[in-house]
Amino acid sequence: MTAETELTMATHAERRAAGMRTLSEMTGNPEQAFAGIEARNGAFGSFVLDYVFGQIWQGEELSRRDRNLASLAMLGALERLDGVRFHASFGPANGLEREEIAEVALQIAGYSGFPAGNGMLDVLQQMWSEADGAPYVIPPAAHKDDEQRHRDAVDVMRTLNAREEAQDPAEALAGMARIGAVGKLAFEFAFGDLWSRDQLSRRDRSLVVVSILVALNKVEELRFHIPGALNHGVTATELEGVMATAAYCCGFPRAVEGFRALQQALREREDAGD
């Protein structure tokens, strides 16, 4: 990531055409289907076409798949369910599988609360059941004893922290005890249950978690999860794309705070020689 953003110039007509084309490609609707947005919604509709899809979605920092994933994580965490429905509708066109989208809702349960995760999941199940003409069923989670949860948790922490070997589970759990009973719950559920699921790669799960934390403006937690995302293979440029996506999903103040957290994490990483 460079200190200065390269200045590029586009005409309004170019941004409008790009926005219409992107929406058409992702939704499968002809470009003419979006011509009425401006007439119905005035300036708001103008900015949806020209700014959201004509500018942000044109950014090369993230693939369309990853921007879709980040958008769903932010919107679901904030319980903006109309936005979830809209973005989930073109997820498959961008390369997202249904089980990956549903997994975002499960991750939200751990980082924004079960009610938020349940709200997103309800929307997904309803829209997919309507599309299929039959109930969409998500398989139950694997049943694990605490011993297995602890082993899985320390392996997740190993990759988040870029360690060669996993900690002893008892040692790791003792470290989490600094935040009391919540630490044990986070160790066993967040790391041992959620993070160890294979419906999303750890790289994708890091992208989702950073997106959730940006949406919730949890800067202190980003100090841990941004380095973890880098360790999981998310690039600094891709993380900058997450912050750009936040500008339209949850507003500039949270996008700016997320970008500052990213800059701080990169400075600390450089100082440490990583």
**What was the pLDDT predicted at 177?**
83
**What was the pLDDT predicted at 274?**
60
Mark the ranges of the chain whose per-residue pLDDT is less than 50: 1-3
Residues 59, 54: Cα–Cα separation, whole Å: 9
CB 161 within 8 A of CB 82: no
CATH code linked to domain 59-139+199-271: 1.20.1290.10
Quote the pTM value: 0.95
Residues 69, 95: Cα–Cα separation, whole Å: 10
Neighbour count for residue 236 (Cβ, 10 Å) = 17
Residues 100, 136: Cα–Cα separation, whole Å: 14
- The b/e string for 158-191 (b: 16+ C-beta within 10 A; e otherwise) is bbbeeeeebbebeebbeebeeeeeeeeebbbebb
**What was the pLDDT predicted at 4?**
52
**What was the pLDDT predicted at 189?**
97
Task: Show the tokens assigned to 39.
Answer: 């007439």
Query: What are the structural domain ranges in the chain?
Result: 10-58, 59-139+199-271, 146-194
| Residue-wise pLDDT tens digits, 105-155 | 999 999 999 999 999 999 999 999 999 999 999 999 999 999 999 999 999
Residues 121, 76: Cα–Cα separation, whole Å: 9
Query: What value, to the nearest 5°, has the Cα angle with vertex 49 and ends 48 and 50?
Result: 100
Report how many helices (DSSP H) and strands (DSSP E) the chain contains, helices first: 13, 0
**What was the pLDDT predicted at 8?**
79
**What was the pLDDT predicted at 43?**
97
**What was the pLDDT predicted at 1?**
46
Print the SS3 string covering 126-191. HHHHHHHCCCCCCCCCCCCCHHHHHHHHHHHHHHHCCCCCCCCHHHHHHHHHHHHHHHHHHHHHHH
